[in-house]
């Protein structure tokens, strides 16, 4: 049994930088949990605090229900795999993998037998006599994993172990790591900035931004029902289309979502319509992924958006068309640093005076996800900016259309996402 519990953990560096901000998180026995976020969001710091390499400024960390802040790293039954492999260059593969066992005093014959078993399982049994400089990147990473596994720890901590490898090898090792940890039934916390790794490997994903925990759930949950605007923008390829919409309620009929000169209509019998109706006369953010959009004939009626293709991207198995529909996009900056408005005469603007009324309240039934100091308008110039929307639409490979070509798309209304001016999901709160 190996469980992890973080209770309101904060890490502040000596210069006052807040690396981790009141993070509470639990990891069940045998679970594979991925910490996902951009560089500098605090995910590796969380891992290092669990390992005992850093001390939290506030909060507590429990392993198997017991506080461990007073324990040295070697007493926590933890094995850590680093991004840079951290192998001993003067030792052979056999000695690198067996080094933790030698330190523990294991007899030579038993040590060699266990190292051989681990090396065979990792596919490096034929290179035990080589030194790290004679190995490929994938082999070196397997040696680093073998050195961690050979101790049979209760908890694996993996800090971006695949980021130095090429894409093909990363895909191969993703499958190996997932299969091996499942086979060993060992609790694993895995740090990455790669959403493909997170969504394919994890039992649950914890998404971080600027030290703040944004969302936690299964890959299906965080992708299909993101708790915040940031999570919605971070996950998915192509990224979710995030559009500014003004709300107008036709009581007992529908809720109109005005997107520039066009509109979509949310039926009143849709349970989400009641929550969105709270924003009558105000602005919200409407999110729609490419899979919610289907190209249709121009004369089709219904939930349709029309525009002209700005440009095309060809990806072999599909093409992406970016459609100008005359709406305004909300652009989420990953790190929260200001970026200039890309329009020649543009300037940062708020939704309008109506949004000021939202500053003092959250959406109906929506719980706060981020720390209090993060609860600001999604259009704060220091965090996000607006530009003409380019609606990402999936097409067949190399379609017979060109930039400037008109295109109509049907919108699946049941797949829309709604966020308030603070970036919280309107129709669902923190899970």
Q: Give the domain CATH number at 133.
A: 3.40.50.300
Q: Looking at the structure, tell me whether residues 190 and 255 fall in a common domain.
A: no
Q: Looking at the structure, tell me whether residues 282 and 143 fall in a common domain.
A: no
- Cβ distance 228 to 55 under 8 Å? no
Given 201, 226, 251, the domain boundary residue is 226
Q: Looking at the structure, tell me whether residues 192 and 294 fall in a common domain.
A: no
Q: pLDDT for 372-409, tens place per residue?
A: 444 556 645 444 566 888 999 999 999 989 999 999 99
Q: Looking at the structure, tell me whether residues 90 and 183 fall in a common domain.
A: yes
CA dist., res. 19 & res. 156, Å (int)? 22
Q: Looking at the structure, tell me whether residues 237 and 279 fall in a common domain.
A: yes
Given 226, 249, 264, the domain boundary residue is 226
Is 295 within the bounds of a domain?
Answer: yes
Is 294 within the bounds of a domain?
Answer: yes
- Cβ distance 129 to 92 under 8 Å? yes
- Cβ distance 89 to 130 under 8 Å? no
pLDDT tens by residue, the chain, 431 residues: 689 999 999 999 999 999 999 999 999 999 999 999 998 999 999 999 999 999 999 999 999 999 999 999 888 888 888 877 778 889 999 999 988 888 888 888 888 888 988 888 888 888 999 998 898 888 888 888 888 888 888 899 999 888 777 777 788 788 888 888 888 888 999 999 999 899 999 999 999 999 999 999 999 999 999 999 999 999 999 999 999 999 999 988 999 999 999 999 999 998 899 899 999 999 999 999 999 999 999 888 899 999 999 999 999 999 999 999 999 999 887 544 333 334 333 323 333 333 333 333 333 333 333 444 445 566 454 445 668 889 999 999 999 899 999 999 999 999 999 999 889 999 754 43
- Cβ distance 212 to 371 under 8 Å? yes
Structural domain range at position 398:
230-419
Beta bridge partner(s), residue 287: 242, 417
Is 375 within the bounds of a domain?
Answer: yes
Other beta carbons less than 10 A from residue 108's beta carbon: 10
Q: Looking at the structure, tell me whether residues 236 and 199 fall in a common domain.
A: no
Q: Looking at the structure, tell me whether residues 193 and 275 fall in a common domain.
A: no
Is 342 within the bounds of a domain?
Answer: yes
Given 210, 226, 242, the domain boundary residue is 226
Is 429 within the bounds of a domain?
Answer: no
Is 427 within the bounds of a domain?
Answer: no
Q: Looking at the structure, tell me whether residues 117 and 186 fall in a common domain.
A: yes
Total count of domains within the chain: 2
Any residues with CB less than 8 A from the CB of 55 and at least 6 apart, and which? 49, 69
Q: Looking at the structure, tell me whether residues 238 and 197 fall in a common domain.
A: no
Q: Looking at the structure, tell me whether residues 273 and 221 fall in a common domain.
A: no
Is 425 within the bounds of a domain?
Answer: no
pLDDT of residue 152: 81
Is 307 within the bounds of a domain?
Answer: yes
Half-sphere exposure of 381 (CA within 13 A, CB side): 6
Q: Looking at the structure, tell me whether residues 299 and 240 fall in a common domain.
A: yes
Q: How many helices (H) and strands (E) does the chain have?
A: 9, 22
Q: Looking at the structure, tell me whether residues 184 and 43 fall in a common domain.
A: yes
Q: Is the peptide bond before 238 cis (omega within 30 degrees of 0)?
A: yes
Any residues with CB less than 8 A from the CB of 83 and at least 6 apart, and which? 159, 160, 161, 163, 164
């Amino acid at each position: 049994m190996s469980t992890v519990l973080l209770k309101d953990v904060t890490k502040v560096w000596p210069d006052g930088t807040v690396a981790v901000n009141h993070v509470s998180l639990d990891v069940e026995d045998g679970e594979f949990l991925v910490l996902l976020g951009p560089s500098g969001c605090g995910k590796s710091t969380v891992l290092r605090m669990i390992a005992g390499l850093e001390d939290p400024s506030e909060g507590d960390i429990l392993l198997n229900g017991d506080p461990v802040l007073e324990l040295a790293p070697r007493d926590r039954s933890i094995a850590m795999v680093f991004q840079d492999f951290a192998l001993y260059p003067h030792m052979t593969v056999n000695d690198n993998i067996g080094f933790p066992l030698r330190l523990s005093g294991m007899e030579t014959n038993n040590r060699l037998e266990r190292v051989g078993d681990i090396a065979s399982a990792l596919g490096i049994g034929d290179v035990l006599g080589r030194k790290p400089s004679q190995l490929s990147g994938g082999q070196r990473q397997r040696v680093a994993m073998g050195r961690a596994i050979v101790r049979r720890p209760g908890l694996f901590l993996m800090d971006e172990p695949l980021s130095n490898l090429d894409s093909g090898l990363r895909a191969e090792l993703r499958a190996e790591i997932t299969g091996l940890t499942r086979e060993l039934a060992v609790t694993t916390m895995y740090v990455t900035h790669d959403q493909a790794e997170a969504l394919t490997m994890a039992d649950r994903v914890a998404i971080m931004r600027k030290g703040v925990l944004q969302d936690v759930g299964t890959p299906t949950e965080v992708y299909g029902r993101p708790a915040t605007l940031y999570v919605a923008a971070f996950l998915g390829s192509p990224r979710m289309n995030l559009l500014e919409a003004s709300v107008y309620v036709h009581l007992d009929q529908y809720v109109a979502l005005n997107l520039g000169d066009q509109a979509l209509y949310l039926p009143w019998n849709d349970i989400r319509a009641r929550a969105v109706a709270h924003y009558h006369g105000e602005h919200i953010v409407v999110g729609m992924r490419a899979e919610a959009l289907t190209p249709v004939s121009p004369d089709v009626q219904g939930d349709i958006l029309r525009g002209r293709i700005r440009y095309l991207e060809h990806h072999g198995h599909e093409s992406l068309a970016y459609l100008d529909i005359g709406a305004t996009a909300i652009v989420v900056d990953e790190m929260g640093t200001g970026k200039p408005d890309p329009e020649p005469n543009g300037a940062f603007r708020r939704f309008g005076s109506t949004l000021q009324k939202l500053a003092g309240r959250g959406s109906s039934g929506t719980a706060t996800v981020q720390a209090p100091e993060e609860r600001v308008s999604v259009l704060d110039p220091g965090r996000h900016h607006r530009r003409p929307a380019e609606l990402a639409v999936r097409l067949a490979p190399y379609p017979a259309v060109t930039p400037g070509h008109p295109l109509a798309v049907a919108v699946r209304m049941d797949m829309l996402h709604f966020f308030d001016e603070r970036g919280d999901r309107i129709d669902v709160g923190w899970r």
